């Protein structure tokens, strides 16, 4: 059986990480049996989660998990899509992962109220005398990463405009369909679903959430994903 290593529920979400939610959705959509386990980033091959372990294969990174499911298990959720549709779906995935993701990070880690509601809880296991030092160090690293990516260089107004463009593009592609490219999910729905659910978390003060809420089809889509795939662990039950 495949073992999926993730963080576990938090922030009112099935997982605080959109990428862990994506991997969970990939596995659920694939129909392959799997179990969830709370992961350890320090032991992960790339120092990040998610990771799967599948019959001796250890695969890190949600995109490579998808490719592993395709190549080793013969699962192709894009079967029936035209080459153009496959290209559009892939482009949407990468736009969200390489663009919208950093907006989520910016909101959660650089807004002090949001940090207190969310990421601060990651540090509870750190001894109290060391905790402020570790928090300061990690927050500095996050700011450096945001600056290196470019998202940290934008003003709040500029980030909001970029969010409107990205979210508007996804809403236009989705249209009135139940899922991104058709009435049943394709691979990209794991990414889109994860990011829509994560961005709509009511725990945080979020201009990004407001942008998504301006598109009723995306709100309905996120609710559909959550009900179909996460109804039994709606952000409250810890991973095994």
DSSP annotation of 100: I
Q: What CATH number does residue 156 fall under?
A: 1.20.1050.10
Instruction: Report residue 225 as tokens.
Output: 């994903």
DSSP E strands in the chain: the ranges are: 2-6, 34-38, 51-54, 57-60
Q: Is residue 240 part of a domain?
A: no
Say what the pLDDT of residue 42 is. Answer: 87
Model confidence over 164-222: pLDDT tens digits?
999 999 999 999 999 999 999 999 999 999 999 999 999 999 999 999 999 999 999 99
Confidence at 40, pLDDT banded by 50, 70, 90: very high
Residue 59: beta bridge partners?
52
Quote the number of domains for the chain. 1
Question: Which strand (E) or helix (H) includes residue 25?
Answer: helix 18-30
pTM value is 0.94
C-alpha–C-alpha distance, residues 19 and 192, integer Å: 10
C-alpha–C-alpha distance, residues 99 and 197, integer Å: 16
Is residue 105 a contact partner of residue 175, using CB atoms and an 8 Å limit?
A: no
Q: Is residue 101 part of a domain?
A: yes
CA angle 88, 90, 94 (to 5 degrees): 115
Give the residue numbers spanning the domain of 15. 2-233
Instruction: Report residue 108 as tokens.
Output: 């959660």
Calculate what percentage of the chain has a pLDDT beyond 90: 95
Model confidence over 114-170: pLDDT tens digits?
999 999 999 999 999 999 999 999 999 999 999 999 999 999 999 999 999 999 999
pLDDT at 238 over 70: no
Model confidence over 46-66: pLDDT tens digits?
999 999 999 999 999 999 999
pLDDT at 233 over 80: no
Model confidence over 165-180: pLDDT tens digits?
999 999 999 999 999 9
> At residue 177, what are phi and psi to the nearest 5 degrees?
-70, 160
Q: Is residue 239 part of a domain?
A: no
Say what the pLDDT of residue 210 is. Answer: 97
Q: What is the DSSP string of 112-178?
A: HHHHHHTGGGGGTTS-TTTHHHHHHHHHHHHHHHHHHHSGGGS-HHHHHHHHHHHHHHHHHHHTTSS
What is the maximal distance between C-alpha atoms in the chain?
Answer: 57
Is residue 167 a contact partner of residue 215, using CB atoms and an 8 Å limit?
A: yes
Q: Is residue 105 part of a domain?
A: yes
Q: Is residue 183 part of a domain?
A: yes
pLDDT at 234 over 70: no
CA 78 to chain centre: 20
Q: Is residue 238 part of a domain?
A: no
> At residue 50, what are phi and psi to the nearest 5 degrees?
-90, 165
């Amino acid at each position: 059986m495949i073992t999926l290593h993730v963080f576990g529920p938090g922030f009112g979400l099935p997982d605080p990480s959109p990428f862990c939610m994506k991997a969970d959705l990939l596995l659920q959509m694939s129909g392959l049996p799997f179990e969830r386990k709370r992961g350890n980033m320090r032991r992960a091959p790339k120092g990040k989660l998610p990771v799967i372990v599948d019959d001796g294969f250890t695969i890190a990174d949600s995109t490579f998990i998808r490719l592993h499911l395709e190549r080793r298990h013969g699962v192709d959720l894009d079967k029936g899509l035209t080459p153009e549709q496959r290209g559009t779906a892939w482009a949407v995935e990468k736009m969200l992962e390489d663009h919208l993701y950093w907006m989520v990070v910016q909101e959660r880690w650089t807004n002090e109220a949001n940090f207190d509601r969310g990421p601060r809880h990651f540090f509870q296991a750190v001894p109290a005398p060391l905790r402020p030092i570790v928090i300061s160090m990690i927050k500095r690293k996050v700011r450096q990463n945001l600056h290196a990516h470019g998202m940290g260089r934008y003003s709040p107004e500029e980030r909001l405009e970029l969010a409107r463009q990205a979210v508007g593009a996804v809403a236009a592609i989705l249209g009135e369909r139940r899922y991104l490219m058709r009435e049943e999910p394709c691979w990209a729905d794991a990414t889109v679903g994860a990011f829509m659910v994560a961005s709509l978390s009511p725990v945080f003060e979020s201009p990004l959430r407001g942008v998504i809420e301006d598109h009723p089809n995306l709100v309905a889509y996120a609710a559909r994903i959550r009900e179909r795939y996460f109804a039994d662990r709606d952000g409250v039950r810890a991973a095994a």
